[in-house]
């Protein structure tokens, strides 16, 4: 049977002529939704078991359907399955092939369901598995950051605000700040997974079905927590896809911020870290170049994922209930978001544990911006000076340092005392980089004890 002969065969009774060849190509989704094949077959098996339980399929018909679906899945995995644009989508391609293989029993499989609830079920099943993989990569990256942070817990570096040297911190503390972002990302993904883990199967086109189906059975069979509560909402809801893309956009935003810092830190102007050669590239014209292409590309891919989120929000904003053909446009941005997030997380999880710090350069940079100025102000306050007055005193000391070319920690006791009589011997301990960091031992601080 040719593609032309197959056109509309699953729903052609209402039509007096076949769909235009261009329209068939324009409306088909098989080129991208065929990646749902495993979950489509998984849903069909559960549906067939339920139809048998309800007395709609005989045991012989059920066995024939289950065996046929298993054979089709093997054909797809071996690359032997012939996909047809004329059959529009993954659901009709598989159903047509099943009917070719086992006859009339294949046509009974669609009893009590619609492609509307079928695709809604498939996407949730597929996305649930993909979220589990993403969570695994997030966990791997978090572990890598924690391992590197432990190694760098005493490595002093400047902390920045406005990209200006602000206060001393440790490299380990900075890495743990990255990890905190990812912990929140994991929580959002877990929350998204939990909220979407409801089964639309059995909602049919929009109103449910007249057949005595058991939606609790199929929900359990497919590992869902429960069936969806409203058939109209179930087939038209894409909140879970939007929520996933929102969480993904935040993941990429966080990776992009990390990427920006890695790019800065590998530059000759900073020279804080060394990245493994295998995560960098060279220049076709400048032989000295070592470019941090992996973090640069991750930074660039953030815009792509943010765009997919806006695309899905725009897709859904004007749709009346229930299902509309517009919803076919949900898959490509969703699929690409999943692929992009997984690839970016894998790149970072592979790369981060092998970053090597340059402690001498970090320490030298920390001394350039009067990073201990706040500690001198705190020292004065502890001696009874009002904070605003202390702020002014330290400002004058900084001005003196700029003129003399000395950091606060390099000034003698006599030089410091000219700004305040309360300054005494021992102030140098408060102004040392190690002293500044050790003093912040409270929960969340940069001190090693924290």
Interatomic CA distance for residues 259 and 348, integer angstroms: 9
- Active-site positions read 162, 283
Ramachandran angles phi, psi of 348, nearest 5°: -70, -40
SS (H, E, C) the chain: CCHHHHCCCCCHHHCCCCCCHHHHHHHCCHHHHHHHHHHHHHHHHHHHHHHHHCCCCCHHHHHHHHHHHHHHHHHHHCCCCCCCHHHCCHHHHHHHHHHHHHCHHHHHCCCCCCHHHHHHHHHHHHHHHHHHHHHHHHHHHHHHHHHHHHHCCCCEEEEEECCEEEEEEEHHHHHHHHHHHHHHHHHHHHHHHHHHCEECCCCCCCCCCCCCCCHHHHHHHCCCCEECCCHHHHHHCCHHHHHHHHHHHHHHHHHHHHHHHHHHHHCCCCCCEECCHHHCECCCCCCCCCECHHHHHHHHHHHHHHHHHHHHHHHHCCCCCCCCHHHHHHHHHHHHHHHHHHHHHHHHHHHHHHCEECHHHHHHHHHHHCCCHHHHHHHHHHCCCCHHHHHHHHHHHHHHHHHHCCCHHHCCHHHHHCCCCCCCCCHHHHHCHHHHHHCCCCCCCCCCCC
Question: 45 near 69, Cβ under 8 Å?
Answer: yes
CA 399 to chain centre: 46
């Amino acid at each position: 049977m040719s593609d032309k002969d197959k056109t509309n065969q699953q729903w052609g009774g209402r039509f007096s002529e076949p769909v235009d060849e261009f329209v068939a190509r324009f409306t088909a989704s098989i080129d991208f939704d065929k990646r749902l094949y495993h979950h489509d077959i998984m849903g069909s098996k559960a549906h067939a078991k339920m139809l048998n339980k309800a007395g709609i399929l005989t045991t012989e018909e059920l066995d024939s359907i289950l065996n046929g679906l298993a054979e089709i899945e093997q054909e797809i995995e071996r690359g032997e399955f012939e996909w047809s644009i004329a059959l529009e989508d993954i659901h009709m391609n598989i159903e047509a092939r099943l009917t070719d293989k086992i006859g009339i029993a294949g046509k009974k499989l669609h009893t009590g369901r619609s492609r509307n609830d079928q695709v809604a079920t498939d996407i949730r099943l597929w996305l649930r598995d993909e979220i589990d993989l993403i969570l695994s990569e997030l966990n791997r990256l978090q572990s890598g950051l924690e391992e590197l942070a432990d190694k760098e817990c005493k490595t002093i570096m400047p902390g920045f605000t406005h990209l200006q040297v602000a206060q001393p911190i440790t490299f380990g503390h900075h890495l743990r700040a990255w990890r905190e972002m990812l912990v929140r990302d994991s929580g959002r993904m877990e929350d998204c997974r939990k909220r979407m883990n409801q089964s639309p199967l059995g909602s049919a086109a929009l109103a449910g079905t007249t057949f005595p189906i058991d939606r609790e059975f199929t929900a359990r069979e497919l590992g869902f927590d429960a069936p969806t509560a409203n058939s109209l909402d179930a087939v038209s809801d894409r909140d879970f896809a939007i929520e996933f893309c929102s969480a993904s956009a935040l993941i990429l935003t966080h990776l992009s911020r990390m990427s920006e810092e890695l790019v800065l830190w590998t530059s000759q102007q900073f020279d804080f870290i060394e990245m493994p050669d295998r995560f960098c590239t060279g220049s076709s014209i400048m032989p000295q170049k070592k470019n941090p292409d992996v973090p640069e590309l991750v930074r660039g891919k953030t815009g792509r994922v943010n765009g997919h989120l806006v695309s899905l929000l725009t897709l859904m904003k004007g749709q009346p209930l229930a299902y509309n053909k517009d919803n076919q446009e949900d898959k490509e941005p969703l699929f690409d978001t999943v692929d992009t997030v997984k690839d970016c997380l894998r790149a970072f999880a592979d790369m981060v544990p092998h970053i090597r710090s340059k402690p001498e350069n970090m320490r030298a940079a920390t001394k350039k911006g009067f990073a201990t100025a706040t500690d001198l102000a705190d020292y004065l306050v502890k001696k009874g000076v009002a904070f605003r007055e202390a702020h002014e005193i330290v400002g004058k000391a900084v001005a003196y340092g700029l003129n003399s070319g000395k950091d606060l920690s390099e000034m003698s006791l006599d030089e410091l005392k000219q700004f305040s009589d309360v300054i005494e011997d021992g102030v140098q301990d408060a102004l040392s980089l190690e002293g500044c960091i050790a003093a912040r031992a409270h929960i969340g601080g940069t001190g090693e004890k924290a």
